[in-house]
Structure 1
């Protein structure tokens, strides 16, 4: 976090660049190095975690008795034929379906989000203390077990499923938050963007994969098998994680001596600031929950639903972007920098009550698929941000962060303006069920 300071932070980064240029290893070493192997292992870990996090968004279509809800919404009591539970005939007979309304589905989706935000802060601090290997490894194994038992939890009842999802959010937040501490010891500043991009891109691939095959698995084998397969993959992968991952180059038994010295030397002047790095996430957790209560309060005051969604999106998008873009133009102050960065990160979850759940308003029947797809597309930002930021910083070490913040502000503002103009909260015609008449 200290590297983001508009003055001292940029100076530190510039000093790191100058030091690293003297320590860059010979060409051809990096791509075959241990640190890139570590990035690839984390890539697979993120692939599994993202697939497990998104699987219920895809299988919800098969889990829910959608035919019953679509006619309730359209004010008709007619039902489609298709078995005792009105389940679609194309689904396997052994796959149960549940009578969950769109509101209940929204609660199920959101149940994992609160715990995830909380543990992303705590796990980052804990990983810096006891090591990323233990925090992420144990969390991935726990997440895999919870995914496997999710169909049983759904069968036991709605409360059981929501409780399982909440615990799953806690452990999955530890996966995504805990891994960042690893790059404090493995990522030379000159290569940190590339290494993080390789690692984070696993989330995009995982979301893409479960979106692509989740529906096929649900249709051919039954929706529980989507949970069993990706939970089983996680359980099988965990032993490899514990064998291959080490918290720092010093403790790694197979690393090349030259590479070890290069990494240690390049990180000699880095600042460790785990508590302050975790602070924005705990602020975000609190504000995210309060934002949900605020949105529901406005609805009780007869504020239009679309207006509530746009207010929440604006409050979560514009102030956080404006705080970042203002940083380089303020007098240098450590307290001001940390305050602005913390508030910028903390205000973002207000969008959870806005555009994040807007799919439930527009198309309740297809909201699970839409939320899974849009979440996958959103992960492109995690893939591109480190690369673009590293490029801008290398191009201009003095004003690099200012350019990064300006680009971020421009992207966020353009998206916000488009949503404020075109956003809606009315069920779309293509998402409404068709009324069938019997002969």
Structure 2
């Protein structure tokens, strides 16, 4: 397609705009409709959008832009619904493993997408990438509706032993809780704001380098990566591997050695972001060496630990309001996902090695700020938003 770089940028950004604009409203809709229903509905809509992507692209760039915007709007429910379902299904001792097993699918799907897209495109044509993936999404949506239940009590084949185990160690006091959102407590919560800032940092780095790593390899290292799906998949392979390991390690240390959840989250987020900053600084000094690729891949490996801690911390702070925290995380992700690649693109647009060094310095600063803020204000303690006041009033009434 003969589209200008500006139009291509608008098309790529359209889904992020939809994700940012509709994130918080979708959270309230999830609370009313439930996680299973809205996730299934959104996945069905996403699959239909995928099936029509090739047709929209052939029609006009503005049709594709509109479809990408709708796609982003539909994606707003994915993480909040995942979190609200995990809050009902996860025993406290296994929440880190279950969270990471859920989110690692993002990287696994991307790896498969990169690996299969080139083969499909060269074999039967690029439109079939969207037809095949859209069809698979639709099948998954049907399986979701048939197999998934909103909570353990509703599952038709769950054993009494498993149900008792989940309820005994449940993260929720009451699955049916519909209390008003305690806005004041949430908006003044330093642990929540520190979590959002740490998440902003990790997503800023992630999308910046997903977008510009091929450019670095081509223009600086002079590596031929055209049609090399494996090279494009390497960052996701690193992140997926570390994400799974991080979740298992967290539960192991918490359950066997009684390591504090707050200490673990701070170790994962602060030290990994600090190491990312060091790696970016090292990369700036060895910019024309092949080792710079190793530095970037190590950054992605550490990102898996951070992302695992960020999403598990969602359930730490408040399982009852995990849908709202997840929506806030997605909003911060959408904003940083737009800013990161855009700022890097503006800097790199001038060309030259010095511009790459500036990008590395900027990314190192973002990592350090995010890590220091979380190390100072972060927490894995249940915030019990709105409950202390209710308990106090109840005690007075009883007295």
- The TM-score normalised by the length of structure 1 is 0.54
Distance between the aligned counterparts of 2:45 and 2:170, measured in 1?
Answer: 32
CA distance in 1 between partners of 2:152 and 2:113 (Å): 34
In structure 1, list runs of 5 or more residues that go unmatched: 1-97, 284-333, 429-439
CA contact (8 A) 1:145 1:235 kept: yes
1:142 is matched with which residue?
45
Secondary structure at 2:92 match in 1: coil
Task: Say if 1:274 and 1:161 are closer, same or farther in 2 by CA, change over 3 A.
Answer: farther
Q: 1:224 aligned to 2:127?
A: yes
Question: Who is 1:263 aligned against?
Answer: 166
Does residue 129 of the first structure (1) align with residue 32 of the second (2)? yes
Q: CA deviation at 1:218?
A: 0.1
Give me the whole-angstrom Cα distance separating, in 1, the residues matched to 2:17 and 2:241.
22
- Aligned partner (choices 109, 113, 136) of residue 206 of structure 1: 109
CA distance 1:377–1:268, shift in 2 (3 Å) = closer
SS of match in other structure, 1:219? helix
Tell whether 2:345 aligns with 1:345. no
> What is the DSSP-based 3-state SS (H/G/I as helix, E as strand, rest coil) of the residue aligned with 2:189?
helix
Corresponding residue of 2:396: none
Conserved in 2, the CA contact under 8 Å of 1:137 and 1:238?
yes
Q: Match of 2:76, SS?
A: helix
Moved more, 258-267 or 247-256: 258-267
CA 1:352–1:255 in structure 2 vs 1: closer, same or farther (change >3 Å)?
Answer: closer
| Structure 2 equivalent of residue 388 of structure 1 | 249
Q: Could you tell me how far apart the structure 2 residues matched to 1:276 and 1:380 are?
A: 37
Q: Does 2:123 match 1:215?
A: no
Extract unaligned runs of 5+ from structure 2.
Answer: 220-224, 288-347, 354-399
**Residue from 394, 409, 412 that aligns with 2:270:** 409
* 1:165 equivalent in alignment to 2:26: no
Give the whole-Å Cα distance in 2 for the aligned partners of 1:166 and 1:192: 33
Cα 1:119–1:377 change in 2 (3 A) is: farther
Flag the 1:387–1:375 CA change in 2: closer, same or farther, 3 A.
Answer: same
1:190 alignment partner, SS class: helix
Q: Per-residue CA shift, 1:216-254, capped at 9, x if unaligned?
A: 000000000010001011112222211111101122222
Moved more, 395-404 or 409-418: 395-404
Tell me, yes or no, if the aligned pair for 1:116 and 1:174 is still in contact at 8 Å. no
Q: 1:152 aligns to what SS in structure 2?
A: helix
After superposition, give the CA deviation of every residue in 1:20-64 in whole Å (9 maximum; x if it has no partner): xxxxxxxxxxxxxxxxxxxxxxxxxxxxxxxxxxxxxxxxxxxxx
1:90 match: none
Task: Give the secondary-structure state (helix, strand or coil) at the position aligned to 2:149.
Answer: coil
Aligned-partner Cα distance in 2 for 1:161–1:101: 14
Distance 1:154 1:190 in 2: 47
Distance 1:167 1:152, change over 3 A: same
Quick check: 2:91–2:171 contact (8 Å CA) kept in 1? no
8 Å Cα contact 2:49/2:71 also seen in 1? yes
CA contact (8 A) 1:120 1:177 kept: no
Matched, 1:188 2:91: yes
Which SS does the other structure have where 1:247 is aligned?
coil
Q: Helix, strand or coil: the match of 1:240?
A: helix
Instruction: Spell out, residue by residue over 1:362-395, the C-alpha distance to the aligned partner (whole angstroms, 9 max, x if none).
Output: 3499599666653554444543443233233235
Whether 1:399 and 2:253 are equivalent positions in the alignment is no
CA distance in 1, matches of 2:57, 2:352: 27
Deviations 1:119-140, CA, capped at 9 Å, x for gaps: 5554444333321111110011
Q: Secondary structure at the match of 1:246?
A: coil
Structure-2 change in CA distance of 1:259 and 1:274 (3 Å): farther
Report the more deviating stretch, 356-365 or 221-230: 356-365
> Are the aligned partners of 1:188 and 1:266 in contact in 2 as well (CA < 8 Å)?
yes
Aligned pair 1:179/2:33, yes or no? no
Compute the displacement of 1:117 (Å).
Answer: 4.6
User: In 1, are the aligned partners of 2:87 and 2:172 still within 8 Å (CA)?
Assistant: no
The answer as to 2:226 corresponding to 1:357 is: no
Distance 1:221 1:108, change over 3 A: same
Contact 2:108-2:236 at 8 Å conserved across structures: no
